Structure formats: C-alpha cells, structure tokens
Amino acid sequence: METVQLYLQDVFASVVQPVKVLKDYQRVALHRHETKTVTFTITAEMLQFYNQQNQLTIEPGQFNVFVGSNSRDCLKTSFEFI
C-alpha cells in the first residue's frame, strides 16, 4: 500500500498559516513497479482558514499544492484563487 498525500499552502494569507497543511490523502494498492494515477479535488472548504475575527474565510491569492508520499518529497504546483 502507498499513501498519496495532498498538502496546501496559502502563500499570502492575512493570518500566518503553516507551510503545508494536509488536506486529503488516498491509500493506493500497488504491485511492484506498478503506477497508478491518483486524482484529488480541491474544494473551497480546503482553502478556508480562521481570520483575525475568528471567522472562516477564503482570501483571494496564490496557493501552492504539494502531492507526494510524505510532506518532504512532493511534486509542487500552484494556482490562483480569485
């Protein structure tokens, strides 16, 4: 079994955020030398955080996406939420 993990980072949040936050994962059964495609859907709820007024919010801006078998060895991409 392999665990594929999805981490998100809000690059410019008004409140300091962790560098990477685990938002989803999938366990995948693999045979030796086998590969599989894993798909994650990033939802609005995954982009939310508590602002200074302790309200859940989503701020427009850049988000980094990390996918890998652990938090250190990841593929990285980014997108902008408008």
Domain extent listing, the chain: 1-40+66-82
Closest CA relative to residue 79, chosen from 4, 6, 5, 9: 9
Looking at residue 9, what is its pLDDT?
A: 97
Whether this prediction's pTM lies above 0.85 is answered by yes
| Predicted pLDDT of residue 77 | 98
Sign of CA dihedral 46, 49, 66, 33: negative
The predicted pLDDT at position 36 comes to: 96
Q: How confident is the model at residue 14 (pLDDT cuts 50, 70, 90)?
A: very high
pLDDT tens sequence across 34-78: 999 999 999 999 999 999 999 999 999 999 999 999 999 999 999
